[in-house]
Amino acid sequence: MRVVWGLATVLFVLALPVTLLTSNVRWLANDLSFYQRGYESQSSYQSTGLPKQVLDQATVELIAYFNSSDDPPKINVTAGGRTFSLFNERDSLHLRDVKDLFQLTYRVQEISLAYALLFSIAMVWRRNGRPLARLAWTWVMGGVFTVCLLAVIGLAMLLDFDRIFLQFHLVSFSNDFWMLDPADSYLIRMVPEGFFMELAFWVAGLSLVQGAVLAFLAWGIIRLQQKKLLARNDGAPLAVS
């Protein structure tokens, strides 16, 4: 049984950064205000030549597409006195792949989050030892691992984001539909590489901070438990089991 709990704990520590990363991807990918800030910083409103309200409404429809079973995306815009499809055939094919990738990310997020919650509940329900202290130590380990992992990832992105971005596409997609020409693709003008750089750093940064906060709170629980034990035993120190 001790081996089983040990393996379950290791899996939890590994699952925590996955849970945080995928949760933040899901949040930002469905947050219109994040797209709007990205459009502003990357001058997407100017490069597409579309009015702000038109591009924003198209983005709302794009977010809905990522969460639907529709294929291909049917997004029409009206600008300059004419109505036309925002995305060409190659854009649409790539967006289908992007939607599949988002859906996979959401499933991973749901599974990892469910495991983290079930593991935590199981730890608290354990009868032997002090389950709350043991659970807190596990969260400390998971939080510290998350911080260290994302610090390394963040440093790698700072040093060579272009290479990481390229490798991500080569691994994630089995075709070259992601290689778009700004001359005839609204999609690449909407979300150029700089947009995804901002997304990557936001996701990594939020996850790192969240991991640090979880570790700090868990450590606070451990210290509180230790103080209660010392008071209960007239100051005799006890090791946390």
- DSSP per position, 71-89: SS---EEEETTEEEESS-H
Residue 239 lies in a domain: no
- What distance in Å separates the CA atoms of residue 215 and residue 156, rounded to the nearest whole number? 23
What confidence score (pLDDT) does residue 127 get? 59
What confidence score (pLDDT) does residue 128 get? 63
Residue 141 lies in a domain: yes
H helices of the chain, in order, are 2-29, 32-41, 44-48, 52-66, 89-125, 131-172, 186-190, 193-232
Q: Extract the tokens encoding 32.
A: 């219109």
Residue 95 lies in a domain: yes
Name 124's Cβ contacts closer than 8 Å, sequence gap at least 6.
131, 132, 135
The total domain count for the chain is 1
Q: Helix 52-66 vs helix 32-41: angle between axes, to the nearest 10 degrees?
A: 130
Residue 240 lies in a domain: no
**Can you tell me which residue has the tokens 């994302």?**
150
pLDDT tens digits for the chain (241 residues)? 778 888 999 999 999 999 999 999 999 999 999 999 999 999 999 999 999 999 999 999 999 999 999 888 999 999 888 999 999 999 999 999 999 999 999 999 999 999 999 999 998 887 566 778 888 999 999 999 999 999 999 999 999 999 999 999 999 999 999 999 999 999 999 999 999 999 999 999 999 999 999 999 999 999 888 887 777 776 555 454 4
CB 68 within 8 A of CB 75: no
- What distance in Å separates the CA atoms of residue 180 and residue 88, rounded to the nearest whole number? 10
Q: Range of 117's domain?
A: 2-232
CB 113 within 8 A of CB 105: no
Residue 237 lies in a domain: no
Backbone angles phi, psi at 78, to 5 degrees: -120, 120
Residue 206 lies in a domain: yes
- What distance in Å separates the CA atoms of residue 39 and residue 195, rounded to the nearest whole number? 8
